[in-house]
Structure formats: C-alpha cells, structure tokens
Amino acid sequence: MNFKPMRVLNLYACLGGNRYKWDEVTDISVTAIELDDELAALYKERFPNDTVIVCDAHQYLLDHYKEFDFIWSSPPCPSHSRIRFSQKSRDTFIPVYPDLKLYEEVLFLDNYFEGKYVVENVIPYYDPLIPAKKRGRHLYWSNFNFPQDVGERKMFDNIIEIGDIKQLSEFHDYDFNKYKGSQRLNKIARNLVDYEVGKTIFSYAANVVQKPKTYQGDLF
C-alpha cells in the first residue's frame, strides 16, 4: 500500500521552530507561508524540501485551506501580549486594537476545515474570546486533543526573560545572527515555538488526522 505524505500548511512560518522535528513523526509535504522575505529565505535554507511562499498568510489560508490535511497557524502576537499591555503607563506607549484575525482563523478553521488544525498564540492580557488549551506560556486552539505536558523544556522561560541571543540560538538550535532583516533578533528568537512542543502536538495531529472531526467547542 502506498501512503501519501501528510500535506501540511505552516502559516506565519518564521524560522520553523514548530516544524523543526516534524520529519521525525511521519512523512510530510510542507508548504510554509511567511511575509518577511528574509525570514522566508532562511526558512528555505533550513528546510530545503519545503515549499516556501512569501505572501499574506491570512489570505493564503482562505484561498488554499482545502489543499491540506493539517494546518498550523501562529498569527502575530504583539497586540495580544501581556508584556506590551503592562507598559501602558509609559508616556511613549501607543495603544493598539487587538488583532482579531487570530479569532477569525480559529472560527474559520473550526467550521470550514475538514483536517486537523492548531492556532497558537500568547496568553493575552484579556480573557480569550474563544476558549483555548493553556500549555506553558501559550494558548492553543485545536480540534483534537493533546496532553497537558507537551514537552516544553524547563529552561525556556528563564531564557525568554533574559533574551540573550547566544542562549536562544543554542536553545532553538539555530544561529539567529544569520537574519539581516528589519525585525529585532530577540523578538524573532523569543517568539519561536519550542521545537519539542511543536513535535509533541504534531504527533497527536498525525495520529488522528484521518479520524472523525471533533469541534473546538466539544473539547472543553
């Protein structure tokens, strides 16, 4: 019997922290979407077998979701961040609306997509508008279950607080100094998903991808 690789869409791919160990789980065919062309080039260097497209991930999802078995989305988190919100008393602070594209994608995937999905983001400064699974420093919206322990490495929070690029490079097994674009290195490094977490969650998605769909609202 011939098994086709799992068709995976990796949205807001950055440098592929979540994707780093997916090849250890099952055969995959990955399409990665990243708007920053410098990050996209580095992602392609890191994962040469993936298809990498430089475009708006939010629109690509709408146009191409039917082509995939599994979708991981990590929309931009700054407008939801508790760290940013904690600085509101500063004279230089500029308030922004929370970017509700995050919730647009959760609702869209949960109602239209027939495969398995994960939408990942930070724990926000407000009560989440849609219930999510809290794992470590992040929230995950998905239509399949995975354990409370997703393999997040214990030293992670300390490194995040320090923000040291050398330590973060060692932690993520990637030299962030390769990036020469306009974004801050420590921002990119801090936002990268722990690859052990990415592997754990993807392992559960791969095991259930052909099973009947469970809706997001049924898991709480």
163 belongs to a structural domain: no
pLDDT score recorded for residue 79: 75
Structural domain contains residue 101: yes
How far is 217 from 220, CA to CA, in rounded Å?
A: 6
Asked whether residue 164 is assigned to any structural domain, the reply reads no
Which has the closest alpha carbon to 76: 33, 108, 109, 126?
Answer: 33
Q: Is residue 129 part of a domain?
A: yes
For the chain, the domain total comes to 1
In a domain, 118, yes or no: yes
Contacts within 8 Å (CB) and 24+ apart, 202-206: 202/18, 202/22, 202/25, 202/70, 202/72, 203/25, 204/144, 204/145, 204/146, 204/147, 205/70, 205/116, 205/118, 205/142, 205/144, 205/146, 206/6, 206/25, 206/26, 206/70
Convert the pLDDT of each residue in 137-189 to its tens digit.
Answer: 899 999 999 999 998 887 555 555 555 888 889 999 999 999 999 999 988 98
- Say if 1 falls within a structural domain: no
36-40, 113-117, 163-167, 209-213: range with lowest mean pLDDT = 209-213
Structural domain boundaries enclosing 10:
6-150+194-219
CATH number at residue 126: 3.40.50.150
Residue 178 lies in a domain: no
The residue with greater pLDDT, 131 or 218, is 131
Strand arrangement, sheet containing 28-33: 51-53, 28-33, 6-11, 70-73, 116-122, 138-142, 133-135
Q: Are 117 and 109 in contact (CB under 8 A)?
A: yes
